[in-house]
Amino acid sequence: MKTIKDVDIKGKRVFIRVDFNVPMDGDQNITEDTRIRTVLPTLEYALGQQAKIILASHLGRPKGKAVPEMSLKPVAPYLSKLVGKEVKMAPDCIGPEVAAMVENLKEGEILLLENLRYHAGEEKNNPELAKELASLCDVYVNNAFAVSHRAHASVAAITEFAQVSVAGLLLAMEMDYFRKAMESPKRPLVAILGGAKVSSKLAAIENMLNHVDKVIIGGAMANTFLKSRGVSVGKSVVEDDLLDTARQVLAKAAEKNIDFLLPVDAVAADKFEASAAPRPVKIDAIPEDLMVLDIGPETVAAYAKALDGAATVVWNGPMGVFEMDAFSKGTMDLANAVAKSPALTIVGGGDTDAAVHKAGVEEKMSYISTGGGAFLMLMEGKSLPAVVCLEKDA
């Protein structure tokens, strides 16, 4: 897969697909800018080459309509401050007016296009939309790892029409770190998997059993594994239709001599609410009227010990309802344990990213992915459609 540094972009029109799908408050002020800052190395390289830069992104789910609350307009002045120069704002992502603005771009100037998803063709991977987007540039750069698991017009079909298609520095780095973790990891390799449902992580768990030395399970998905072992989990969330599958996963792990760690204690409550009173319980003594909402201190200690000697740690999914302070301690303590590990620590995006930031240990992780869904797809052993398109052109 070629990157932006492998092709000549000097003075050329360079279309960079970025992920500026950032959170905003009611007044459309950007409240968290990680996704903007991760683009800066690629953007600064293009500026150094005096390229004419066109930035494109989606924001939210406007479903093919121009929704003012999902406009990228607030991003332009915010990005201007970060790069120290004006970022012009286009009224749309295609059309005569946009084409004219691109035509008038001078070397080293930046134009931000309006929300790609204002057009239904973006999510439908529409070739006509892709062709019109491609007509704006000499070089297409995909730097949006977080949407590269989607076959959308601005990351997939566009490569059929762009003269040159390459990866941005962020996308290349994401793929490089994942390969370090999965294709040729330093061992022991430990996978930490959490979240609400086994069903959402089942393919990842099954694939990871072909690679890892240890698996650590947390979150509500642990309840399904526990119940499959005959443990009563009270009112906890359980996927009863996956109990047989859970038993098969446990059997496969045992067959491969993979340590498969499940909680030994938990923090439970009588309702799924921030105001609920947390109650510590042993995992084999969960009252029928309570539900598990976090892992307990003994489990945290066991999981931290399991990290001893690890050379590579891959983490995707929180250990409990970390958004509620009363049920966040397990995830926060595990985040600190991972941060203290001398291993190569790779954290999946989405909720895991948010949890690591809440714990304040993001700087101590080797790498935090910018994409939850894309990261999970790689963990499942699948290829990312948008990356396949770039590899095809390499």
Active site positions, annotated = 35, 197, 350, 373
C-alpha Rg value of the chain to the nearest Å? 23
CB hemisphere CA count around 349 (13 angstroms):
20
Contacts of 81 (CB under 8 A, 6+ apart): none
Pair of tokens at residue 202: 């089942």
SS3 251: helix
Task: Provide the 8-state DSSP code for 292.
Answer: E
Closest to 371 in 3D by CA, of 344, 340, 347: 347
Q: How far apart are CA 380 and CA 63, in angstroms?
A: 28
Tokens of 370: 């910018």
DSSP for 4-54, please give it.
GGGS--TTSEEEEE------B-TT--BS--HHHHTTHHHHHHHHHTT-EEE
What is the phi-psi region of residue 342: left when phi exceeds 0, alpha when psi lies from -120 to 50, beta otherwise?
Answer: alpha
User: Distance between CA 51 and CA 105 in Å, rounded?
Assistant: 10
| Residue 284: other Cβ atoms inside 10 A | 12
How much of the chain is helix, strand and coil, in % rounded to 5?
40, 15, 45
Q: Which residues contact 131 (CB under 8 A, 6 or more apart)?
A: 161
* Burial (Cβ within 10 Å: 0-12, 13-18, ≥19) of residue 153: buried
- 331-357 burial, b at 16+ Cβ within 10 Å, e below that, comes to bbbbbbbbbebebbbbbbbbbbbbbbe
Q: Which tokens is 102 given?
A: 């691109």
In sequence order, the 6+-apart residues with CB closer than 8 A to the CB of 104 are none
